[in-house]
Every structure is written in C-alpha cells, then in structure tokens.
C-alpha cells in the first residue's frame, strides 16, 4: 500500500516503504533516548518501537526521581502509516534530522516536553549479527549520539527544567531483526544454558564524548565490540578505537556493577573511563523483559498505562531486573562527567565468575 512515506526518496526495494525487506516477524525499527541532569538526578529513558510485520507500535517513558521509578506505557495497532510516531500519551517528532528530536508525554502522572539537541555527530556502530545455531537471531544496524536536552518534566508534584548545559544524555536508533514479542516456538531443545553478555557506556564530559560497547560469549570471546571518542561539537572528527577492554567490580549478591571502567585504545594512547554507579534505572520500565508490556506484545488496539515502584525495594536477583542502566559519575583523567553503564549479564561468563543462568557475585 502507498503511504506518505513513499513521497520521500528513501526506498530500498521495489516495494512501498510500508513493506520491509523481510517477512521475519522480528523485524523492528526503534528510537531510544536517555537523559540525566549533571548531578546525576533525575534520570529518564524513552523507547518507541515499530514492528511492521506484526502490525504493532509501542512506546514508554520512565523516570527515576526521588527514589521512585515512574513508568508510562502505550501500545496500539500500527496500521499503514509508519511515520505516525505517536502512541497514546507519548510522541516523538524529528525536528531536524541528526540535530533535534522532540519528545512529548501527556499523562496525568507524568508530563514532559523535551528536545534532544545533538552535542556531537551520530556514531555508527559495527553491524550486530548473531546466530543461535544455524539461525540468525540478531541482524541490525545501530547508531549512538550524545546530546543535551531543553524543556521540562513534571512528575510527582515537581518540575525539572532542562537546558543543554544542565541535562545531558544519549540516544540511539536501531533497525533490523532481533527477538520481539512472544518467543518463537522452540525446535530441538538446546543443551547449553542461555547466555547473553552486554555492556554499553556512552558518557558525556564538558568537551568530549566517549562511547564503548561489547557483547561476549561465555568464554569471553567477543562477537561485537566498539569504542570511540569525539569532541563535543557537531562536525567533529570521530576517533574510532583500535581496541576496547573493561573491568567490573560486581556488587555482592547481584550481577550489577559496584564500580566499573572501560578502556578506549587509540593509536595516540589509552583512555580509561572510570564509572561510579549512583543508582540503577530498570529497563523493564520501558519494556525490556516486561511480561505484559514487552516490546511487540499485543495489549490492545490502543492501550496505555502507568505504574511506579521504589527502586530501593527492587529484587536485584529477579530476571525482570537484570537489564539495567546504572547512572554513573564518570572520570577520564582530570575530566569529570556523567554517563551510564547498561548491563545485561545472563548465563555463564568466565571472566565475571558466573557459572549458571542467574547465580550472583558472592
């Protein structure tokens, strides 16, 4: 079917834009944003996913303020127009591509009107391709971009005003194939424990932005790794790492970091970013691992909801709470900044000392 997207010169196949290149039900196209004030609080994240092959679009906005994580969620039938990026009370508007994106939330419990303003150029990461036996379960492209925010958030009777000088963050865009919605029916049962190890650490300093991520197998071998440094200005040259490495001091009784650092190794030398977590943001608040409002789950033709929880009462051993973004104070030499360390550590991982699916650090 022809839609307004077909008026733009962006076609990749002979099909209309509405029709994606694959019939895989797990094809997705996603927005993600996070933001934090420079003292580390509050912290918010936004996600919006479009799933053309299952005809669903969903979105969530979640903020941790004064020890409470507030979550606004929405989901609806996608229909024919993938350019209609509003889901219930949440909308995303591309004001200037790669420069300014507006996020709005209009819910009785949470209201927000924020504009992400780029501090640096978009950083394209190497393509993510991963197999489970013969089947490709991840095949996607993603970029990350550092920025600041202007606007405000109203939550729990308080108003938080943001300017690009006081509120920083990052965003990513990704698209391709990865697991969404209910799991596909299993074939022959596997003999190995399920395993996934992921670290992602975009960090903002006054004059530069740093980036790092790794995916590792249980034995520590990597199927994806990337690092980069760029000046905090549009059009600045990107310095891509020759190699990256990491170190985590795990918090006892968890699979989360008490302290962490990552290395970005360039020809000019080694850059060590030290991260001190302040508190965790739980990614189930924007759909990850959520049993009902997970990405691509059908919850109704046009539905929205709100819930909240105290972060101090979270059971960090529960699988629902394994996927986090730890809000961190950051140091790079004499520089001080703010960033996040996103972690998913499931299954065995030799370097971390984990042997079972959800055993924890002693």
Q: What tens digit of pLDDT does each residue of 148-187 get?
A: 999 999 999 999 999 999 999 999 999 999 999 887 766 6
**Residue 232 placed within a domain:** yes
Total length of the chain:
362
Examine residue 9 and state whether it is found in any structural domain, yes or no.
Answer: no
Q: Does the pLDDT of residue 213 top 80, yes or no? A: yes
Euclidean distance between CA atoms 188 and 319, whole angstroms: 24
- In sequence order, which residues have a C-beta less than 8 Å from that of residue 288 and are 6 or more positions away? 294, 295, 323
Tokens 């699979």, residue located? 255
Q: Please check whether residue 47 is in contact with residue 87, taking contact to mean a CB–CB distance below 8 angstroms.
A: no
Q: Residue 111 belongs to what domain range?
A: 28-181+193-346
Q: Is residue 235 part of a domain?
A: yes
In a domain, 226, yes or no: yes
- C-alpha–C-alpha distance, residues 253 and 309, integer Å: 21
Percentage of the residues of the chain whose pLDDT score is greater than 90: 89
Would residue 19 count as lying in a domain? no
What DSSP designation does 349 have?
Answer: B
Question: Residue 183's pLDDT is what?
Answer: 75
Q: Is the bond into 42 cis (omega within 30 degrees of 0)?
A: yes
Neighbours of 134 (CB within 10 A): 5
Q: For 110-131, b where at least 16 C-beta lie within 10 A, e where not — what string?
A: bbbebbbbbbbbbbebeebeee
Encoded tokens for 64:
């941790």
Confirm if 335 and 206 have CB atoms less than 8 A apart.
Answer: yes
- Predicted pLDDT at 289: 92
142 close to 172: Cβ distance less than 8 angstroms: yes
With respect to residue 204, please indicate whether it lies within any of the assigned structural domains. Answer: yes
**Which domain CATH number covers 217?**
2.40.370.10
pLDDT(258) > 70:
yes
**Residue 46 tokens, joined:** 């936004």
Q: Is residue 142 part of a domain?
A: yes
Q: Is residue 355 in a domain? A: no
> Count of domains in the chain?
1
Q: Which of 156, 152, 153, 127 is nearest to 68 (CA)?
A: 156
């Amino acid at each position: 079917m022809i839609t307004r997207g077909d008026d733009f010169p962006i076609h990749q196949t002979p099909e209309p834009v509405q029709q994606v290149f694959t019939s895989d039900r797990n094809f997705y196209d996603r927005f993600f944003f996070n933001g934090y004030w420079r003292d580390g609080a509050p912290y918010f994240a936004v996600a919006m996913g479009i799933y053309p092959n299952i005809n669903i679009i969903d979105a969530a906005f979640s903020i941790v303020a004064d020890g409470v994580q507030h979550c606004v969620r929405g989901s609806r039938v996608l229909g024919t127009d993938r350019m209609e990026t509003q889901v219930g009370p949440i909308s995303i508007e591309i004001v200037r591509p790669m420069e300014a994106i507006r996020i709005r939330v209009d819910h009785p419990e949470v209201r927000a009107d924020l504009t992400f303003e780029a501090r640096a150029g978009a950083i394209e990461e190497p393509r993510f391709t991963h197999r489970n036996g013969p089947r490709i379960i991840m095949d996607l492209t993603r970029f990350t971009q550092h920025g600041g925010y202007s606007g405000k958030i109203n939550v729990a009777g308080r108003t938080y005003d943001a300017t690009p000088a006081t509120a920083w963050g990052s965003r990513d865009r990704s698209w391709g194939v990865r697991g969404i919605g209910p799991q596909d029916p299993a074939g022959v049962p596997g003999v190995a424990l399920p395993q996934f190890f992921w670290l992602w650490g975009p960090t903002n300093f006054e004059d530069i932005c740093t980036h790092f991520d790794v995916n590792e197998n249980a034995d520590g071998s990597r199927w994806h790794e990337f690092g980069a440094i760029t000046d905090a200005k549009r059009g600045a040259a990107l310095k891509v790492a020759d190699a990256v490495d990491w170190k985590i001091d795990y918090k006892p009784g968890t699979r989360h970091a008490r302290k962490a650092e990552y290395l970005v190794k360039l020809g000019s030398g080694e850059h060590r970013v030290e991260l001190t977590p302040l508190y965790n943001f739980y990614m189930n608040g924007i759909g990850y691992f959520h049993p009902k409002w997970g990405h691509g789950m059908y919850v109704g033709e046009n539905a929205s909801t709100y819930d909240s929880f105290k972060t101090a009462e979270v059971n960090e051993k529960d699988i629902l709470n394994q996927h986090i973004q730890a809000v961190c104070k950051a140091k790079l030499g004499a520089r001080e900044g703010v960033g996040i360390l996103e972690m998913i550590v499931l299954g065995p991982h030799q370097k971390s000392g984990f042997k079972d699916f959800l055993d924890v650090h002693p």
